């Protein structure tokens, strides 16, 4: 029986991610465990990942190159490496998965060097695709796939989200044989050995600025509390993990699952963090919030987005979230000593430049009221960068403004686009430089007046110094040209930005 070709599963380098368990490739590996031999290549743990990939391919044993691709810095390796494979190893089949590949599949497949896109979860699609290709069968019957046939893009049916408890276990030992898993456990404000874990897919909501929506369309499925707990225990006992970051888009969807998990974690002495919705968690009972805190949940990331109900409506934030609820929930969480991490999306389109700027001013005032009711609230400011939520009010406004994504895949490597998804300067035609400057300058003054708790290396002297140096600006709303603060943040504090670097 001829040896089946082997598979390379690649995690391109992402900014500052060397200390992140690469759950994307881990779960992709799990999907073919025992069916195909495969190797992991993690660009975050290799100084020269191309040579590693090339040496594998030169053995002639590999027939498939699979890469996970998020927008942003990962493209800087994913695009040139996949192109080189097509040029130097034309018999190898190139398969991409992940958010960028799924949401930007047209430019990806029109590149001519990516053969298949796994659209959403690959747990079934990937092994089925490899089996079909090995058997010479058409992959048209396999769900969650996008590919070109006779020049036309074929998008197969979306698979219903799988029962997450039926998925194969994560091959931690296999990953550890390539890169010490210990090296993926970061020293963060949560703990000295913080593990990244992903326990659910999707989100029940359809916020039109979020890249999760085109892929999951308001569907959500989570692993049971006990199974999550078993994996967390394994990471603790086997690798000494003392904290967990849940990378789920929405970990706290189910109060029952969360409370069950918290009860299991009560005596583990581990801190944890996850992402949630304000209106969902505001329905949690005081008992549940107390228990969650006692179980080690120190901070929760919330998509606050805006203090303006009209803007929340135009973003299809849905549910019952209002500006008033965003404010009062920050106040409520203070009682439970859980730090709310509020992310805001500024710079959404409006009829006139004056209206865009007025909206930015309103959000700045709103963020300051949040800091008044709960000074510990961590504030993360994103600039709205469009994602293809076809048919949504927000995306229609984006298209009307003339905004278009690059058609050619390589154009995403252009300096302007490379930073596009970092949500720091999104090239959106209605956002003028003075608007971007205002938001950035406010962020600098805010981070000086209220330095982030997550920057564990900041001394209390540095915090006090920054606060007194910035108070006249913060109180007087004088944000222009805060160069003295920028210099200190860059060189004295080497200020940490969790939204880019993670914790
Ligand atoms: C962990 C993470 C990071 C880590 C990096 C992890 C890494 N890869 O090394 C860090 C903190 C560095 C990071 C940074 C950023 N991130 Co990030 N990140 C995530 C997060 C929270 C989890 C990803 C994950 O592990 N998921 C778990 C795995 C199991 O799920 P999965 O990736 O979807 O994989 C499944 C399928 O997609 C598919 N699949 C995926 N890859 C592949 C590959 C193959 C070959 C196959 C067959 C299948 C397949 O099968 C898998 C199993 O079913 C996601 C949100 C999320 N919950 O997914 C955001 C997310 C992907 N990040 C996002 C963004 C925007 C960024 C930043 C640009 C933010 C910023 N402002 O800087 C930076 C960019 C950094 C960079 N690119 O270098 C956005 C992308 C939005 C978009 N427009 O597409 C997301 C979706 C968050 C959000 N809700 O908006 N990120």
| Tens digits of residue pLDDT in 435-463 | 999 999 999 999 999 998 888 788 899 99
Question: Helix (H, G, I), strand (E, B), or coil: what is residue 275?
Answer: strand
CB neighbour list of residue 226: distance below 8 Å, 6 or more residues apart: 260, 264
Going from the first residue of the chain to its last (503 residues), give the mean pLDDT of each consecutive group of 10, the final group possibly shorter: 86 77 97 97 96 98 97 94 98 97 97 98 98 97 97 97 97 97 93 97 95 95 98 97 97 98 98 97 98 98 96 89 96 97 94 94 98 96 90 89 92 82 69 92 96 85 93 97 91 60 51
Q: Comparing C-alpha atoms, which of 369, 316, 372, 324 is closest to residue 345?
A: 316
22 lines ligand 1 (CB under 6 A): yes
229 lines ligand 1 (CB under 6 A): no
CB neighbour list of residue 47: distance below 8 Å, 6 or more residues apart: none
DSSP string, 448-500: HHS--TT-TT--HHHHHHHHHHHHHHHHHT--S--HHHHHIIIIII----HHH
Cα 247 to averaged position of ligand 1 atoms, centre (Å): 9
- Residue 294 and residue 286: Cα distance in Å, rounded? 12
pLDDT in the model for residue 355? 95
pLDDT in the model for residue 469? 95
pLDDT in the model for residue 498? 55
Name all domains of the chain by residue range, CATH numbers in brackets.
6-155 (3.40.50.2300), 164-501 (3.80.30.20)
100 lines ligand 1 (CB under 6 A): yes
Nearest CA to ligand 1 atom 83: 211
32 lines ligand 1 (CB under 6 A): no
Pocket test for ligand 1, best of 70, 85, 97, 423 (most atoms within 8 A of CB): 70
436 lines ligand 1 (CB under 6 A): no
Cα 249 to averaged position of ligand 1 atoms, centre (Å): 10
Q: Comparing C-alpha atoms, which of 35, 11, 32 is closest to residue 23?
A: 11
pLDDT in the model for residue 496? 56
159 lines ligand 1 (CB under 6 A): no
Whole-angstrom Cα Rg for the chain:
23
Q: Where on the phi/psi map is residue 382: left (φ > 0), alpha (ψ -120 to 50), or beta?
A: beta
223 lines ligand 1 (CB under 6 A): no
pLDDT in the model for residue 393? 87
Question: Helix (H, G, I), strand (E, B), or coil: what is residue 236?
Answer: helix
E strands along 288-385, which residues? 297-305, 339-346, 378-383
Which residue is it, tokens 């020269």? 48
Cα 24 to averaged position of ligand 1 atoms, centre (Å): 7
Count of other CB atoms within 10 angstroms of residue 239:
18
pLDDT in the model for residue 324? 97
CB neighbour list of residue 151: distance below 8 Å, 6 or more residues apart: none
Q: Where on the phi/psi map is residue 388: left (φ > 0), alpha (ψ -120 to 50), or beta?
A: beta
pLDDT in the model for residue 446? 97
Pocket test for ligand 1, best of 13, 33, 99 (most atoms within 8 A of CB): 99
Which residue is it, tokens 């080497």? 494
123 lines ligand 1 (CB under 6 A): yes
Atom of ligand 1 nearest to the CA of 500: 72
- Residue 498 and residue 433: Cα distance in Å, rounded? 24
Two tokens, residue 77? 């390796």
H/E stretch holding 110: helix 105-110
């Amino acid at each position: 029986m001829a040896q089946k070709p082997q598979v390379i599963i690649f995690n391109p380098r992402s900014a500052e991610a060397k200390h992140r368990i690469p759950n994307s490739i881990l779960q992709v590996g799990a999907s073919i465990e025992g069916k195909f031999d495969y190797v992991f290549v993690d660009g975050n743990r290799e100084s020269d990942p191309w040579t590693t990939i090339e040496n594998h391919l030169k053995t002639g044993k590999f027939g498939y190159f699979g890469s996970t691709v998020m927008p942003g810095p990962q493209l800087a390796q994913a695009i040139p490496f996949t192109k080189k494979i097509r040029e130097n190893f034309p018999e190898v089949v190139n398969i991409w998965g992940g958010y960028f590949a799924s949401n930007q599949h047209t430019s990806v497949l029109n590149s001519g060097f990516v053969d298949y896109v796994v659209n959403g979860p690959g747990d079934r699609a990937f092994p089925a695709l490899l089996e079909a290709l090995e058997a010479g069968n058409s992959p048209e019957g396999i769900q969650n796939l996008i590919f070109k046939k006779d020049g036309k893009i074929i998008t197969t049916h979306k698979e219903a989200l799988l029962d997450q408890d039926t998925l194969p276990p994560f091959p931690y030992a296999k990953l550890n044989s390539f890169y010490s898993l210990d090296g993926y456990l970061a020293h963060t404000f949560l703990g000295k050995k913080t593990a990244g874990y992903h326990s659910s897919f999707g989100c029940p909501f359809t916020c039109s600025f979020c890249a999760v929506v085109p892929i999951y369309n308001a569907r959500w499925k989570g692993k049971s509390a006990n199974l999550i707990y078993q994996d967390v225990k394994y990471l603790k006992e086997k690798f000494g993990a003392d904290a967990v970051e849940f990378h789920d888009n929405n970990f706290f969807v189910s109060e029952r699952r969360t409370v069950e998990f918290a009860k299991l974690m009560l005596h583990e002495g581990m801190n944890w963090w996850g992402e949630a919705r304000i209106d969902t968690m505001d329905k949690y009972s005081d008992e549940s919030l107390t228990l969650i805190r006692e179980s080690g949940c120190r901070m929760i990331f919330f998509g606050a987005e805006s203090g303006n109900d009209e803007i929340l409506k135009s973003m299809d934030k849905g549910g019952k979230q209002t500006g008033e609820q965003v404010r009062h929930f920050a106040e409520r969480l203070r009682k439970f000593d859980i730090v709310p991490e509020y992310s805001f999306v500024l710079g959404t389109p409006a009829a006139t430049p004056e209206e865009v700027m007025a909206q930015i001013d309103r959000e700045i005032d709103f963020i300051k009221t949040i800091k008044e009711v709960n000074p510990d609230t961590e504030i993360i400011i994103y600039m709205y960068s469009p994602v293809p939520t076809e048919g949504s009010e927000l995306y229609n406004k984006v298209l009307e403004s003339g905004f278009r994504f690059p058609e050619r895949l390589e154009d995403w490597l252009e300096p302007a686009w490379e930073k596009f998804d970092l949500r720091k300067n999104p090239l959106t035609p209605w956002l003028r430089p003075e608007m971007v400057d205002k938001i950035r300058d406010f962020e600098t003054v805010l981070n000086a007046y209220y330095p982030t708790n997550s920057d564990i290396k900041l001394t209390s002297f540095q915090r006090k110094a920054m606060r007194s140096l910035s108070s006249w600006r913060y109180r007087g709303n004088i944000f222009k040209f805060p160069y003295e603060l920028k210099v200190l943040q860059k060189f004295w504090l080497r200020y940490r930005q969790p939204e880019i670097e993670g914790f």
